[in-house]
Amino acid sequence: MFDYAGSIHFHSAYSYDAQVPVDQIIQSGLKAGLDFALLTDHFNLDAQKDGWERMHQAGGRKLLLLVGEEISPRYNHYLAFNLASPLVVSKTDLHSQDVIDTVNAQGGFGFIAHPDHAGAPFVGIRAYPWVDWEARGFTGLSIWDLMGDWTSGLTSLWGVLRALACPAGVLRGPRPETLRRWDELAQRSHCVAIGEIDNHATRKRLFGVTKTLFPFDYAFRTIRTHVLLPHAFRGDLANDRAAVLNALRLGQSYVSLDLWNPPRGFQFEALDGSQRVTMGGRLARKGPALVEAKLPAPGRIRLIRNGRVIREEYSHSHLERDVELPGVYRLEVDQRVRGRWRPWIFSNPIWVD
């Protein structure tokens, strides 16, 4: 398997609320060592129309830029990919089922963006949660959002100063309510996760300090979604684009905070005597089975079945566990950084029958 690291959900000058031109964003992505990036401007696919969707190269590095759309009325923001044409709805439109159905009818697919976004009332940032949990037909949801996580700590002057001084140090990881919801959804049907950064690189003035939140050079090194592909990129857009989008749709991927410890080499699989299944897949057991995880460095590992922790290992880089019951199995890993356990890797589930 080839592990490609990507960044999902950010805005360029093609969005009404962002200013950084696409070519500059691509340079940041190359510098940060991203393999792919999914641009999602509000209500348009202009970057695709203007020819930015392709492999970019500089300094011996390559970055595949793909263009999706963030459909963003007042609530229920939706990240849509593989669209034939952009969807535009009014800011007050709350018919998220129509949005999902229209995306699917185009041959596209999508993820719920920042589902439990809470804003930061202390500094005047509004909340943009997903509120329509009756909706069906989405591919999955974002479980971890750089911007949402970071702003959730802005609850006091002290919180603001801490967040500005040490942006990644204040990240808490996916919200428990988001993981709970994901575990419930995944027990009902195939529902997979991505990570997102929701970056605008806007300049903001907070208590007299003007700062860019966040420069792309930095944001691209934080929360990533890694896809596992059976083949290396071939250099032709149609093939490489389909490979990345397919892996995201199927959940052959995991979410991680790459800043301190690169997670490349992470694997989570379920197997029995005759078959081996990776994340996003289903294992129909034909005999004794087990789940197996490998990490590139020791971490604190939690194995979760149907939303409950069934095994916790400290400072291990390997986990193996017999599977005696059917269920939805996934893995969370924390990393030890500067004397504290911090969120690191969140696998997509494996469904075991």
Q: What are the residues binding Zn ion (CB under 5 A)?
A: 70, 72, 77, 113, 198
Please identify, using beta-carbon distances, which residue of 102 and 202 lies nearer to Zn ion: 202
What is the nearest approach in angstroms of Zn ion to the Cβ of residue 77?
Answer: 4
What is the nearest approach in angstroms of Zn ion to the Cβ of residue 241?
Answer: 21
Q: Where are the beta strands (DSSP E) in 9-98?
A: 36-42, 55-58, 61-71, 78-81
As beta bridge partners, residue 290 has 271, 322
For residue 25, report the phi and psi dihedrals to the nearest 5 degrees: -65, -40
Please identify, using beta-carbon distances, which residue of 113 and 228 lies nearer to Zn ion: 113
What is the nearest approach in angstroms of Zn ion to the Cβ of residue 199?
Answer: 8
What is the nearest approach in angstroms of Zn ion to the Cβ of residue 190?
Answer: 24
Please identify, using beta-carbon distances, which residue of 111 and 268 lies nearer to Zn ion: 111
Please identify, using beta-carbon distances, which residue of 113 and 245 lies nearer to Zn ion: 113
Q: How far apart are CA 332 and CA 193, in angstroms?
A: 13
What is the nearest approach in angstroms of Zn ion to the Cβ of residue 348?
Answer: 22
Exposure class string for 69-86: b at 16+ Cβ within 10 A, else e = bbbbbebbbbbbbbbeeb
Q: How far apart are CA 286 and CA 59, in angstroms?
A: 49
Q: How many CB atoms lie within 10 A of CB 242?
A: 11
Please identify, using beta-carbon distances, which residue of 46 and 272 lies nearer to Zn ion: 46
Q: How far apart are CA 348 and CA 111, in angstroms?
A: 14
First to last CA, the chain: 24
Instruction: Give Cα 111 to chain centroid, integer Å.
Output: 9
What is the nearest approach in angstroms of Zn ion to the Cβ of residue 42?
Answer: 7
Please identify, using beta-carbon distances, which residue of 71 and 228 lies nearer to Zn ion: 71
Number of residue whose CB is nearest Zn ion: 77
Please identify, using beta-carbon distances, which residue of 72 and 347 lies nearer to Zn ion: 72
Residue 55 near residue 237 (C-beta atoms within 8 A)? yes
Residue 63 near residue 37 (C-beta atoms within 8 A)? yes
What is the nearest approach in angstroms of Zn ion to the Cβ of residue 179?
Answer: 20
Count of all residues that appear for the chain in the document: 353
* Long-range Cβ contacts of 81-85 (<8 Å, 24+ apart): 81/38, 81/108, 81/109, 81/110, 81/245, 81/248, 82/106, 82/107, 82/108, 82/109, 82/245, 83/45, 83/108, 84/108, 85/45
Q: How far apart are CA 100 and CA 352, in angstroms?
A: 28
Please identify, using beta-carbon distances, which residue of 113 and 271 lies nearer to Zn ion: 113
Please identify, using beta-carbon distances, which residue of 29 and 327 lies nearer to Zn ion: 29
What is the nearest approach in angstroms of Zn ion to the Cβ of residue 53?
Answer: 18
What is the nearest approach in angstroms of Zn ion to the Cβ of residue 145?
Answer: 9
Please state whether beta strands 267-271 and 55-58 pair in parallel, antiparallel, or not at all (unpaired). unpaired
